[in-house]
Structure 1
Amino acid sequence: MLLLIAAFGIVLLGAFAQSVSGFGFALVTVPLLAMVIDPRTAVVVTALTNIALNVAATARDRRHVRWRVTGALTATALVGVPIGLLVLVTLPERLLSVLIAVVVLGCVALVWSGVRLRTGRAGIGAVGVLVGVLTAATGTNGPPLVAVFHSLGYDPRTFRATLAAVFAGAGLIALTGFALAGRIDGEVLRLSLATLPAVPLGWWLGNLVFDRIPPLVFRRIVLVGLLGSAGAALAAVAA
């Protein structure tokens, strides 16, 4: 019961963060869930609950989605997902936990730096492959997309909607891979079903403040929180 309560709270926090800033669900949930359950289960549970969040967000904000960019990123993510699955299945749990924490720290640095990535066909294709790898291996696929969309100059609504559409597409591909690899078992389904109600609740709470908190301010709050979660995950592995 305590595990389910903790997992529910973590998913709620992740959904709230993504609702307000457009990203952060997996970056929040994966390292924190990996502290209370094994990292492989944390990645798959996050993927399952994240699908519901992103499909609903995409449907609601579909008018703001840049579909051509979404299609290009999702198509190239197909190349990266098998590589990420190989990492997820073969890497020892302790090393996988370290990898998740290190990826989160790297993602925080990428977003915080405000770096702009190339947005030509080759640049978007490379980011799509990276998104596929990160989606399947660690679940933390947002920051490369944040960097690309920042370079494209998307407004907050377009930014959030297009992120959700790419997350949904890449997530569905990854879930197919998880199923084929036998990673969706009874424990994963139990945790996913128990925490699923936290997704709409967190999104609703985030929407209440979406237009009231400057996006830059909230993004910095999320990034500080991610530094803390990644640091805590590394400390747990080292203990």
Structure 2
Amino acid sequence: MDIHSTTLLAMAIIFLGAFVQTTIGFGLAVIAAPLLFLINPNYVPGPIFIASLIISILNTLKYRENIEIGGLKIAVIARIPGSILGGILLLYASSTHLSLWLGLLVLLALAISLLPFRIEPTQNRMAFAGALSGFMGTSSGIGGPPMALLLQHQEANALRGNLSAFFLFSAIISIIVLICIGHFTLHHLFISIPLLPATWAGYRFALFSMQYISKEWIRYSALLLCFVSGMSAIYQGL
């Protein structure tokens, strides 16, 4: 696959991820990371975080009145040591191991999203989820599931707002860690640029279509896609 085809495919994947995240609150990295890794490992995790940062800014601004900063503070603080540990893993893991790790995380995210019971977001659980999100996110780009599990029973706009605010800080933290360990360079920044209009387009299309498409239909379609991409990443890593 030539560089132009790879770029267009990456843009299409990010468009889909941004659409899903705007609609249900999270999902950009869960969908995009394993697919992008298959077409070009350089897209994971650095450029994923650039796209995540943009979509998080857009959704944070849209749902800013629904954000509860106090409740997120401990999770954001705990994400810092988790992100450092995730960066250490990146230093020693091979691309094969990372592909397997990505696939397993995607399947874990699927399992979490289907859990039938409710977990209350206490301070200790928020701290643990923030640290785990940092470790998972910085090492693979997929850091949303732990926080989404804790906050999934919030009202829809509160869920979107709080997750977006957390992801905004998370993306900044992870990008700083990746720069420090040499996993985010000018090359990663360069290949991130075409993903920006795709992220914005996915966001705008989600706002337009949310009134016409069932949220549950989007969720289950995203779960099916995640299962396929997760299994593909695992197969690649074996």
Q: Following superposition of structure 1 onto structure 2, how do residues 133-172 of structure 1 map, counting pairs within 5 Å?
A: 133-150=135-152, 153-172=153-172
Q: Following superposition of structure 1 onto structure 2, how do residues 84-233 of structure 1 map, counting pairs within 5 Å?
A: 84-150=86-152, 153-233=153-233
* TM-score, length basis structure 1: 0.93
- One-letter code aligned to 1:63: E
Shift of 1:74: 0.7
- One-letter code aligned to 1:25: L
Say whether 1:14 aligns with 2:47. no
**Cα distance in 2, alignment partners of residues 11 and 119 from structure 1:** 30
- One-letter code aligned to 1:161: G
8 A Cα contact 2:72 2:162, kept in partner: yes
**Cα distance in 2, alignment partners of residues 126 and 235 from structure 1:** 30
Using the aligned pairs only, state the percent identity. 21
Shift of 1:118: 4.0
8 A Cα contact 2:133 2:145, kept in partner: no
**Cα distance in 1, alignment partners of residues 80 and 230 from structure 2:** 27
**Cα distance in 1, alignment partners of residues 106 and 138 from structure 2:** 14
Secondary structure of the equivalent of 2:183?
coil
Shift of 1:35: 0.3
Q: Which runs of 4+ in 1 moved over 3 A?
A: 211-214
Secondary structure of the equivalent of 1:141?
coil
* TM-score, length basis structure 2: 0.94
Q: 1:31 to 1:82 in 2, by over 3 A?
A: same
Return 5+ residue gaps in structure 1 as ranges. Answer: none
Aligned partner of 1:78 among 58, 80, 90: 80
8 A Cα contact 1:135 1:141, kept in partner: yes
Secondary structure of the equivalent of 2:6?
helix
Say whether 1:23 aligns with 2:26. yes
Shift of 1:59: 1.7
Q: Give CA-to-partner distance per residue, 1:127-160, whole Å, 9 cap, x none.
A: 111111111111111111121112xx31111111
Aligned partner of 2:57 among 55, 58, 75: 55
**1:34 aligned partner:** 37
**Cα distance in 2, alignment partners of residues 28 and 213 from structure 1:** 19
- One-letter code aligned to 1:27: V
**Cα distance in 2, alignment partners of residues 226 and 175 from structure 1:** 24
Matched residue count: 235
The alignment yields a C-alpha RMSD, in angstroms, of 1.4
**Cα distance in 2, alignment partners of residues 114 and 185 from structure 1:** 42
